[in-house]
Amino acid sequence: MNGPNNGEDTSFIIKELEERNAALQRLVAIKTERLNEALREINMLAVTDKLTGLCNRTRTDEVLDIEISRANRYTCDLSIILADIDNFKEINDIHGHLTGDQVLVTFSQMISRRLRKSDVAGRWGGEEFLIICPETDAAHAAELAEKMRAMVYDHLFGTKF
């Protein structure tokens, strides 16, 4: 008997449904991965200064709060370096904001190269940067700050200001 209730027809329908289900699962997996990638990017943008790539002010404040709490709880050293680019307004006024932006990017890259993995650098304000140095005493922080100052002082930044 060849009717709609035939076992062959049922097997065919089940096989077709399984194939469609597998295809839908692949699509869902692809879409989920794309959404997860977009979420990772959004999360990164939410804590990163767009120009310099360093932590933004919000993330820097969060890290600072965490590290202060940790230093207090475990009675360990914590040092903070505040770096400011002297005469930055003049750079923008004389050479233009694009040059000023490039100075900020170069400066950020230079200080980032000097940090340990446990240190965090963030853009604190326009041309102000905060460097959080956990487990670092004042003498070592001063030494790091001086090395950064000398490195920046000797750099030409494309044009001498």
Cite the active site residues. 127
Q: Which residues, at least 6 apart from 122, have a Cβ–Cβ distance to it below 8 Å?
A: 49, 54, 55, 56, 57, 59, 60, 63, 129, 130, 131, 132
> Which amino acid is present at 133?
C
DSSP code at position 53: -
d(CA 9, CA 3): 8
What is the DSSP secondary structure assignment for residue 85, as one 8-state letter? -
Beta bridge mates, 120: 132
Question: CA-to-CA distance for 14 and 64, rounded, in angstroms?
Answer: 59
What is the 3-state composition of the chain as percent helix, strand, coil, each rounded to the nearest 5?
65, 10, 25
